[in-house]
Structure 1
Amino acid sequence: MDDLRKRLKAAIDASAHTMATLSREAGKNHAYIQQFIERGVPRKLPEDVRVLLSARLGMPETELGGRKPIIASYDPAEFDREVAPFEPGVSSLVPYEGRTANAMPDIDVSAGAGPGGLPLPHQLPHQSGVVYAADAIRGEVILPDYLLGEYTRAKAGRVHVVRVRGDSMETTLSSGDRVFVDTTDVAIGQGGVFVILDPDGEVLIKRLRKLPEGRIEIVSDNPKQASDNYAAEEIRIVGRAVARLCRI
């Protein structure tokens, strides 16, 4: 048993989870993780399983065989400078590592809850991933673990804070609200509110519903706004909106 598998087994033994429950939550058979640890099958964990285990066990994805995280650095004095193409940024697929421990990045890219949003500075060629330019990080948000844990099981580094723009999600969300987006949760399941990248490369926050024949309905909660639908491969899901910060 190599070091990776030893660390994974130790983390599971020290957690409230079992190999079987984690395997089922990953959509695999109950013996999947046990076979990986004890028999080395599969040789490498797929990305969706690494994301799940990282969120549930608090292990960095790099310790589970993932690539090294893209580290975001930001300097408020540099916010106005032009972003160079392909400049390293903040990925929704790896934990955020900023200046402050256990911080969530406040993304300076509005999520359109009306017609259109703002294009992301960078994108990953992955169905469920996007990359924000480092300059898009306007600051960091910190919540105590117990408070964040009331809304999501994800660690702070996998939660992004995104501002809402537009009125198509009224009364669920209002323009100017900030939503906390769990980037480890990209499964539509029974539906919910998600931040997505649409086929035109715009960031939207919409309610998603599965349709027959592999299509997804993009729903506006405001009845005055139209809904739409796309083939699943036409959109990218950034993550599920699990909480909001708003005025009262």
Structure 2
Amino acid sequence: MSYPPQNPTQALQGPRARLLELSQGRGVSLAALSELLGRNPTYLQQFIRKGSPRKLEEQDRAKLARFFGVGEEELREAQENSYESTPKRRDAGEWVEVPRLDLGASAGPGRVAGGEGAFDTFRFSRRWLAEQGLERAQLSAIRVEGDSMEPLLNDGDEILVDRSPRPFRDGIHVVRLGDTLMVKRVASAGAGRVALLSQNLAYPPVEVAADEVEIIGRVVWKGGRV
């Protein structure tokens, strides 16, 4: 008995399926796209078929998105990423448990927002929080993705975000711009505008109207591997 051929994208999901669809639609091989990125010819074939690497590097996603004329978020892993109903921290005696969200804020072009939940907690001493001026802060922890905030924030760093309502002042913030979530230095640009600045000078500043940006919270602490 013979079976009809299967669509090669049916078993794939997310950015792998989308990248294969785009390459086939444009009639360009994965090997050629890999060389466009300065990678070995099997790089994207292994990404799509073997899941290695687990995700595309930020600069590779951006280059492919420009080539195909699509949004960079189409080549990101689809995760539940939002700040709509952030779990509250839990206080227990001398310790405070801060929710660690299954959520990444991109230090780059931006990450698509959806819904999120806490999958873990960080426990901080109440005394230490008071010493940092954070005893009344509404804290949650998320990870940094990408390299545009290096060397201040590195890919994989964990950051504490204070969501307490307060007047805006320049600093490092997690923000939502459209449907994307990112961590940037936010500075007033005058006349109702703000600038989203990267620490890595390879990334140019982005200036937008202040009402286009939702400031989720201020980054008040970071931690990461040495």
**Equivalent residue number for residue 115 of structure 1:** 109
Count residues with an aligned counterpart. 142
Alignment of 1:237-248 (within 5 A): 237-248=215-226
Question: Residue 223 in 1 paired to residue 217 in 2?
Answer: no
Using the alignment, how far apart are the partners of 2:208 and 2:148 within structure 1?
18
In structure 2, how many angstroms separate the alpha carbons of the residues matched to 1:228 and 1:174? Answer: 20
What do you get for the CA RMSD once the two structures are aligned?
2.2
Matched, 1:196 2:175: yes
Structure of greater Rg: 2
- Report whether the alignment pairs 1:147 with 2:128: yes
Cα distance change of structure 1 residues 202 and 242 upon mapping to structure 2, 3 Å threshold: same
**TM-score, normalisation: structure 2:** 0.57
- Amino acid of the structure 2 residue aligned with 1:141: F
Once the two structures are superposed, what CA deviation does each residue of 1:51-95 show, in whole Å capped at 9, x if it has no partner?
Answer: xxxxxxxxxxxxxxxxxxxxxxxxxxxxxxx98xxxxx733xxx7
Q: What amino acid is the match of 1:182?
A: D
| 2:105 is equivalent to residue 103 of structure 1 | no
| Structure 1 unmatched ranges of 5 or more | 1-81, 84-88, 122-132
Residue in structure 2 matched with residue 180 of structure 1 by the alignment: 160
Query: What is the distance in 1 between the residues matched to 2:141 and 2:114?
Result: 14
User: Who is 1:210 aligned against?
Assistant: 188
Distance apart, 1:118 and its partner CA:
3.5
Q: Distance in 1 between matches of 2:105 and 2:143?
A: 6
Q: TM-score, normalised by structure 1?
A: 0.52
Partner of 1:103, secondary structure, is strand
| Cα drift, residue 186 of structure 1 | 4.9
Report deviation, 1:154. 4.4
SS in 2 for 1:216: strand
Pair 1:197–1:154, CA change in 2 (3 A): farther
- For residues 150 and 204 of structure 1, the distance between their equivalents in structure 2, rounded to whole angstroms, comes to 28
Query: Cα 1:181–1:111, aligned 2, differ >3 Å: closer, same or farther?
Result: same
Q: Displacement of 1:97 after TM fit?
A: 5.2
- Contact preservation (8 Å) 1:195, 1:206: yes
Would you tell me which structure has more strand in proportion to its own residues? 2
Cα shift readout 1:146-169 (whole Å, capped 9, x = no counterpart):
21223333436x101010000000
Unmatched runs of 5 consecutive residues or more in structure 2: 1-78
